[in-house]
A and B are shown apart, each in its own frame.
Chain A
Amino acid sequence: MSELIAVLRSRTTREAGVVTRLWLLFITRAKIVASYRVQFALDVLGIVLSTLQYYFLAFLVSPAELARLGYGTSYFVFAVIGIACSRYVWMLTGAVVNWVWHDIMAQTLAAVVATRTDVKLYFLSHALWAATWASLWFVGVIAVALPLGFTAKLSLAGVASLVLVLVLLVVVHAAIGILFGAIAVKHKQVDVLSFLLAALIDMLGGVIYPLSVLRKYEPLYYVALCLPFTHALECARAIVIRGATLASPELLPHVVALLASLVLVPLAFRAVDHYVRLALRDGDLFAY
């Protein structure tokens, strides 16, 4: 016992910084996800299966029609970029809300709030892990697609442009995920919100068919343009299929729309403060 007392009494040399805390929260989430081995294996299997699904579907789509719309001649390449990007939305919104909800049930969120660490860091760590896992998914899908005939017209500037677009996609959807997660702290089962967003993106965001198809249904087309995802995907496809870069004039409206969506970032962190305070007021950190 005296040893324990002496150790506890000893002064610490220096404090754990924000990066250390963020890293440990990130690793915690990674270890938890990896501990669900079957789920982990199914996720990896999902990479192969969904890529194969669009490989076979591509035989049904007329290359000429796709080329006429400006998306190259391979539906497989078109769809692979769509599903790889949409995974970011599923992870950054759906998974983050799910983890927050789980931590409320397990009361680990209350334990985190009781520490000296700003709870925003906790939300940020979730978004970081979701982005990492979605990026691995992205790379995995491309890796599976390459031997099946996936080709890209990528210059060095194109690679840099693609990375920047993906970063913008991640940041904007991380903000949406954090916003939904914050709402979940107070209003609990808001996974329906993330499900609706993902469904909306799958339907209108141009994941499996070109955005121009929606021009026939104007209101839906304008709804699609309100989704930041639509703009990110249009940029990604233009870069990979047509060899465009962020400097290309055709991408300017999409880039502007994506940059404008960054307004969601401060909004998300303000929402965290707001909803955590409401939860502290009503005792919702312990209720589910």
Chain B
Amino acid sequence: MLSTRSSKASEMRAIMVRDLVKVYRSKKRVVQALRGVTFDVGRGEFFALLGPNGAGKTTTTKILATLLLPDGGRAEILGHDVVEEADEVRRLIGWMEGETGGRSLYWRLSGRDNLRLFASLYGIHPRDAEVRIRALLRFFDLEDAADRLVKDYSLGMRIKLCLARALIHDPEVLLLDEPTLGLDVQSAQKVRELLMILAREEGKTIFFTSHNMFEVERLADRVAVINRGRIVFVGTPEELRRRMERVKVVRVTLVSQEPSEVLARIASLSVVRELAGVTRRGDITVVRVIVDDPYEAISELARALRGMRVERIERELPSLEEAFLRLVFGGPPGPEFAPHARREPPPGWEPCPS
């Protein structure tokens, strides 16, 4: 009974990662890229792996794509070990690395020739490949540029071509590293729609990494957050956000008011635990404070600021980005955890492109 249940569970899993360890060794230093990464991705699931630069996202993706051997632990794609059954895994996956801006294409070949070559390397007969290539080029608006050399493509066009290449053999699992990085708004939207349909209607499993929280929030069924080679969170985007709600923030928006005067009044209140940040844009001043009881704090703040031009006092719900930053960088949600309240990003963080 137990074994039946366990085999059913493995049937439901598209990706299984257990205690994955990867160490990069060079003469000068040793870098522990993954320190026991564990997670599962269900069939047909849209799964996002988040983390700051150097956290281990790309290393994890490369191991799943059979392009890097782990030093410990194991990973399976649809029940096939990525090390022992690499050939079978390669049949099942479509890999795309958007981070490098489509460098992995043959730049001195046309877009069509690139797709022809990779279709054949995936084992698709040339006759079938032509039909697929036409449909992919049409979908990604690359028909007119199909016979131009890739070196003359824009960044967005190259990324679309990379995505077309990843899809050409109709893989069960898509491993996408920053799939929409560098795409214009319209193209990115189109790609997201396609990925949604592939996951929701076609049952494809999509594993992707992204710095774009808007994208993650819209697409992902579940997210994992990786930091310094360790998974620090696995759950739904909603669960990630809810984690942050334990820290209660109230935001006060004022018009034509001297911040120093406002801060003096707010700081004197016993309901305010900590000042989280102050921003001023034009004649609008926004003050964010951490409190224990937001409802009591709102009425106290309203009383204390009487006579001032207060536009709004409200409880602030954390964005997914804030929740992510708090998880990764730790500490109380000071200005560095509220990107809207500060112009400088925290150390090690690169702003998302769109």
Contacts and interface: CB of A to CB of B under 8 A. Distances in A.
Nearest to A117: B121
Contact of B125 (A7, A13, A114): A13
Contact of B135 (A3, A20, A107, A116): A3
Interface string A271-288: 000000100111101100
Q: Please indicate which of the listed interface residues B113, B117, B165 has the most CB atoms of chain A within 10 Å of its own CB.
A: B117
B124 A283 contact: no
Interface in B115-143: 116-129, 131-132, 135-136, 138-139
A5 B202 contact: yes
Interface residues of B, number: 55
A153 interface: no
Given A8-B135, A35-B108, A107 B122 contact: no
A113 B127 CA distance: 23
Interface residues of A, number: 40
Given A12-B124, A15-B123, A31-B113, A283 B118 contact: no
Interface in A85-144: 106-108, 110-117
B104 A110 contact: yes
A106 B170 contact: no
B119 A4 contact: no
Nearest to B123: A15
Interface stretch (B87-95, B215-223, B273-281, B328-336): B87-95
A20 to B, nearest CB: 5
Nearest to A107: B104
B269 interface: no
A68 interface: no
A106 B107 contact: yes
Nearest to B193: A1
Q: Please indicate which of the listed interface residues B25, B100, B104, B113 has the most CB atoms of chain A within 10 Å of its own CB.
A: B104
A77 to B, nearest CB: 38
Q: Say what secondary structure dominates the interface of chain A.
A: helix
A16 interface: yes
Contact of B122 (A8, A31, A116): A116
Interface stretch (A21-29, A174-182, A221-229): A21-29
A191 B260 CA distance: 67
Nearest to A115: B121
Nearest to B129: A16
Contacts of B131: 7, 10
Nearest to B92: A116
A14 interface: yes
A32 interface: yes
Interface stretch (B12-20, B64-72, B230-238, B299-307): B64-72
Contact of A24 (B116, B128, B194, B197): B116
B84 to A, nearest CB: 13
A25 B109 CA distance: 12
A36 interface: yes
Given A20-B125, A25-B121, 13 more contacts: A4-B139, A8-B167, A8-B170, A12-B128, A16-B124, A111-B165, A112-B121, A113-B67, A116-B87, A117-B123, A280-B66, A281-B68, A283-B24
Interface of A: 1, 3-5, 7-10, 12-16, 20-21, 24-25, 28, 31-32, 35-36, 106-108, 110-117, 277, 280-283, 285-286
